[in-house]
Amino acid sequence: MTSSASDVVVLDYGSGNLHSATRALIAAGARVELTADPERARTAAGLVVPGVGAFASCMAGLTAVGAPEILAERVAASRPTLGICVGHQVLFEEGVEHGRRTRGLGLLPGTVARVPAPRLPHMGWNTAEPDPGSLLCPEPGEYYYFVHSYAVLDPAPLRTIGAKVTLTEHQGHRVVAAVEHGPLASMQFHPEKSGATGGRLLRRWVCSLDPR
């Protein structure tokens, strides 16, 4: 199949929210294929990596379908890739859960760790503060739906490489809510569960795949 502006692959590696992400992308105007086929994942105009659950188990699932090599090739070729929730977290260098360190994909600098808040998970609607010019969150004050206990806590390494960073706050602790760097875009929140706000975000990403 030849890639087109709306040609999006959702990577099927056994994660639990693949179908909800697929439906949301279709609603956003993309032609979507849910597949683990390596060639389709490499060549699609856009690749989406959702994820729920533990960092280590998601990395195991991604490794089983050859995702580390596929994503590295996409980044090298400047092909857009979107990570959601744990699919966002695994783009970083490592995740630390219950004292266990798991190597991530290493496509972004930083560590995913437990949010040091008294009440977890961080679940529900929250605002996010984007850097100027951000595609993902262009209007401060919009609400997004979060479900997580772990996140990237320090945005400094991302800013060092020139990434656009969006932050949110949970019980006084600021965490990374979204990142944009070259062909990579990723978010800790769930756009597919964020109603009209998430739908607009996904439409902006799908439209950004069109070079015209």
Q: What value does the mean pLDDT take over residues 34-40?
A: 95
Q: What value does the mean pLDDT take over residues 29-47?
A: 96
Exactly one of 33, 170, 190, 207 is catalytic; name it: 190
Exactly one of 58, 85, 137, 170 is catalytic; name it: 85
Each residue's pLDDT tens digit, 85-125: 999 999 999 999 988 999 999 999 999 999 999 999 999 99
One DSSP character per residue, the chain reads: ----TTEEEEE-SS-TTHHHHHHHHHHTT-EEEEE--HHHHHHSSEEEE---S-HHHHHHHHHHTTHHHHHHHHHHTT--EEEETHHHHTTSSEEEETTEEEE---SS--EEEE---SS-SEEEEEE-BPPTT-SS--STT-EEEEEESEEE---HHHHHTT-EEEEEEETTEEEEEEEEETTEEEESSBGGGSHHHHHHHHHHHHHHT---
pLDDT, mean over the chain: 93
Told to judge if 85 belongs to the known catalytic residues of this protein, a careful annotator would answer yes
The pLDDT score that the predictor gives to residue 139 is: 78
- Whole-model pTM: value is 0.94
Domains and CATH numbers, the chain: 7-208 (3.40.50.880)
Exactly one of 137, 180, 181, 192 is catalytic; name it: 192
Told to judge if 19 belongs to the known catalytic residues of this protein, a careful annotator would answer no
Each residue's pLDDT tens digit, 172-197: 999 999 999 999 999 999 999 999 99
Told to judge if 190 belongs to the known catalytic residues of this protein, a careful annotator would answer yes
Identify which has the larger pLDDT, 15 or 108: 108
